[in-house]
Amino acid sequence: MTDRHPPRPTDSELAILGVLWERGPSTVRDVHDALNKDGATGYTTVLKILQIMTEKGLVVRDESERAHVYESRYGEQKTQRQLLADLAERAFGGSATKLVMQALSGRKASAAELNAIRELLDTLEGESK
């Protein structure tokens, strides 16, 4: 076995991953600048979290340049699915279907969104045939 469960990212880590997914490989300064459009996070704070994420294996670091370049190790969708599976396990008795149904009834979706979901259902049903 090469790869254990990647650890669940914390809130701050997720915010940083969001930047990396959007921008691609980035330096600490890139990430810091992107995040500081909204709230204020110190430069060294971002650096520290990226270092921790490197230790955890959430990101990969390229040290060939003076300003190290960080890249998310797992894709956005993979991480999202991991988070969903995790939440299903912890709060929905392991049932992803319950999770979906709760997510659907918990809010008013537009007709367009409902149709998009319906199409996805059709695709899935076709595949599993």
Partner DNA sequence: GATTTACTACGAAACTCTTCGTTGACATCC
Partner DNA sequence: GGATGTCAACGAAGAGTTTCGTAGTAAATC
Q: Which residues bind DNA (CB under 7 A)?
A: 7, 10-13, 27-29, 40-45, 47-49, 51-52, 63, 66-68
Q: Of 23-31, 37-45, 50-58, 87-95, which segment contacts a second copy by CB under 8 A?
A: 87-95
Instruction: Look at residue 60 and give the partner it binds from DNA, a second copy, none, a contact being a CB closer than 5 to 8 Å depending on partner kind.
Output: none
Is residue 60 within the footprint of a second copy (CB under 8 A)? no
Alpha-carbon distance of 117 to 113, in angstroms, equals 6
Q: Which residues are within 8 A (CB) of 52 and not within 5 positions of it... i.e. 6 or more apart?
A: 13
E runs forming strands in 9-117: 26-27, 59-62, 69-72
Name which position in 47, 52, 69, 100 contacts a second copy (CB under 8 A): 100
Nearer to a second copy, 17 or 50 (CB): 17
Instruction: Look at residue 6 and give the partner it binds from DNA, a second copy, none, a contact being a CB closer than 5 to 8 Å depending on partner kind.
Output: none
Pairing of strands 59-62, 69-72: antiparallel
Instruction: Look at residue 5 and give the partner it binds from a second copy, DNA, none, a contact being a CB closer than 5 to 8 Å depending on partner kind.
Output: none
At 7, give phi and psi (nearest 5°).
Answer: -70, 150
Q: Which residue has the tokens 């991953």?
A: 17
